[in-house]
Every structure is written in C-alpha cells, then in structure tokens.
Chain A
Amino acid sequence: MFDWLQNLADWLVYGVFGLEESSKLGIAVNFFFYDTIKILILLMLITTLMGLVNAYFPVERLRDFLQRKKLYGLENLLASFFGAITPFCSCSSVPLFIGFVQGGIPLGVTFSFLITSPLVNEIALAMFIGLFGIKFTVIYAVTGILLGTIGGMVLGRMGLEKYLSDWVQNLIKAKTEASEAYRAEQVPFKERLKAVLHEAWGIVKSIVIYVIIGIGIGAAMHGYVPENFFAQYLGSGQWWTVPFAVILAVPLYSNAAGIIPVIQVLVAKGVPIGTSIAFMMATIGLSIPEGTLLKKVMSTRLISIYFGVVTLFIIISGFIFNFIL
C-alpha cells in the first residue's frame, strides 16, 4: 500500500540529496521521510474515521443506552469498546466521568470507559499501524479493550463509591432529573464530513511536531544503535523488565505520537514485544496530569487504587505477551 511512498523516499534521499544508500545517515534520513509521511497520512485517515463514528454515535447516546438496558456484564465490554473509539482528550475525561455516574451508570462500568479511553485512541492506533503493522495493532487494541473491561469489573466489585468526592456522591444520590434522551441532530452527511475533516486536521496539526520529533529520534537510533543492542540487557530472559518498564512509564508523561516511534526502534533492536507493549500502555494509559485532573472528583485513595489496579493488569498483559509472542 505504501510502496509508492518508499520509492518517493528513495528517490528523494538517494537521488535528490545524493546520500549513500548504505550509509548510516542515508538509512536514517530515508526512514525519517518515509515514516513521517506515512504516519501523517494514517493519522488523518483514522482521526477522520473515528470522528465520523463519533458524529453518528456520540457518548451521550452510549450513556442513554447503558441507562436503559440491562446487559448482564456486557456493559463493561461495551463501555470499554466505546472508550476506545471515542476521541480522547485528557481534559474531557472528568466531565465524562461525572456525566456517567450522574446518569446512574455503575462506577465499575464508568471505570471501564475511563481506562480504555486514553489507552486505545486514534493517535496511538494510527501510529501502530504505520510502525508495527495491522496484526500488532489489532492485538494492542483488543488487549486494551479487554484490560478496560476486566479492570472496570474488578474496580466495580470493590465498593469504591465512598471514595468519590463529596459533591460527586451527592450527585449520585440526587440521581439527576433523567437526562433528556439523546436526539440525533439532522445534519446532512456532506456537512458532517466537512466538520469532521476540520476537526481531524486540527488534531493532526496539533501533534505533527511530536510525530516529527519522535520519528527523528527513532530514525537516529535506527541508523546508529547496533542490532540486538538491547537484547542482552532487556531481553525476554529477564522477567523483571516488564514491571520495571511499567513502573518507569507511569510517571513518564508523553503523548503517543512522540513515544511510539522510539519504542518501534527498541523492538527492532531486541527489546521483547510484551515489555514494549506494557511500557506503551503505561505511558499512554496512565499519567500524572490525568491523576491531577481526577483529583477533582475522587479522593487520592481512589486514584491510587485505580492506578494500582490498571498498573497491575498492564504488567500481567506484558508477561502474557512475552510468553505467547
């Protein structure tokens, strides 16, 4: 699908710039051009696609659906799935959280949404497809959705309502005037697509600098770090690498666009895939700024439990991947 782009990168780097095809600099520059353009195309495609899904199935509609139907455990899966396809912005997670509990959605189901929403997002998916391929992307997305589902179920059983901020507890008790049923806006497809494209372009524009920096670092490492450099230190033989990588990653706040190209090179140079997936999940899914925002609605204790449970599940998935892949 991207052969033409490779040809273009080859022509540009070896032909126009006149770099040696076998030189380290040549390889690094080629890698940089090819990956940057490919990822920008994929980012635009996937954010547009998700934007369209969201235009037709906004989160208010999910809330109404969950309020009305009894799903016998499937609601966690559904909430997690929707967390994955909803465009994520760390600043919208708090209003979403309150909107859910206010609407009488159980805390565990709300957590399922909250865990998956940053973990599986359009930017991460586009970067994964571009750098690791479809198979890896599907594995990552499915793992993320399952992690949200199970994590939410576990948290739901722990009876954590009492650790929510007082005003949120009062909201639950008041169980707001039944939120008005979601009404689909009658907007023609053409108008919608225009708005979605506008939005998608805005997202891509805002992260383009991180993509370039991330791929730049990746490209430099790609050309200069020897093959299997990491295998001896961080190879799958060392079990402790998974928890170590995760614990390192939680406080590390980096957006997906910047971190994924670097990880891709680490994998190419011998870091096991499970360790890498765990590292990425922890970087993308859990962050200190998100914790700070959640402080407005939860006690520190609840945030610690939430982060603790998710961290534990990420470590477990890392082990499973190192074992099966």
Chain B
Amino acid sequence: MKTIKILGTGCPKCKQTESVINEALALSGQQAEVIKVEDIQKIMEYNVMSTPAIVVDEVLKMKGKVPTVSEVLALLA
C-alpha cells in the first residue's frame, strides 16, 4: 500500500489537495494511507518552498499547486 503525504501548513489549498487525492483514490479503487503533514519543520525536511506538496512513498512528486484528479491518478500509476 502506498503512503501519500500532503505537505502544507493547513491553508485552503492543502485541504483542496486532500479532497482531490481522496477523489482520485476512490475513482481508481486504490488503497493508500493519506497523511497530512502540517508541521513546518517536517515539511522543510523535504526541501520544498511552495506548498501544498505531495510526497508518495517518501518521494516528492509535486509542489506548489492543487493537482487535478487526473494528475493524481498519473502519480499513483
């Protein structure tokens, strides 16, 4: 099972990202653990400067924008 982390300090965009990811997971029928990382010190460990960012299995996949459902599906494929 994949682990998806959403990095972001709790702004509206991060919440949108979470709902897009959940939507994509529901659509593809995949199981994944979705974790929101809101602690700035932890976020900075991934060396990102623009949030929200998405980390899949500890690899930084996307940063600085809210993804679309199809983008998330591509990340999970």
Contacts and interface: CB of A to CB of B under 8 A. Distances in A.
Interface of A: 58-60, 63, 89-92, 94-96, 98-100, 102, 167, 171, 176, 179, 195, 198-199, 202, 206, 293, 296-297
Given A199-B66, A297-B40, A91 B49 contact: no
Nearest to B46: A95
Interface string B55-77: 00000000011101000000000
Mostly, the A contact residues are helix
A198 B71 CA distance: 13
A95 B44 contact: yes
Nearest to B65: A199
B60 to A, nearest CB: 11
Mostly, the B contact residues are loop
A89 B40 contact: no
Given A199-B65, A199-B66, A202-B66, A91 B47 contact: no
A95 to B, nearest CB: 5
- 5 smallest CB-CB distances across A and B, nearest first, come from A91-B11, A99-B49, A91-B9, A296-B40, A98-B44
A195 B44 CA distance: 25
A63 B68 CA distance: 27
B14 interface: yes
Contact of A95 (B48, B66, B68): B48
11 contacts: A58-B64, A89-B11, A98-B40, A98-B49, A99-B44, A99-B49, A167-B41, A195-B65, A199-B66, A202-B16, A293-B9
A91 B6 CA distance: 14
A176 B45 CA distance: 10
Contacts of A102: 44, 47
Contacts of A199: 65-66
Contact of B49 (A63, A202, A296): A63
B50 A91 contact: no
Contacts of B65: 195, 199
B5 to A, nearest CB: 15
A95 B51 contact: yes
A91 B66 contact: no
Given A202-B66, A206-B12, A95 B50 contact: yes
A91 B40 contact: no
Contacts of B40: 94-95, 98, 296-297
B13 A91 contact: yes
B38 to A, nearest CB: 10
Nearest to A59: B49
A92 B51 contact: yes
A147 to B, nearest CB: 23
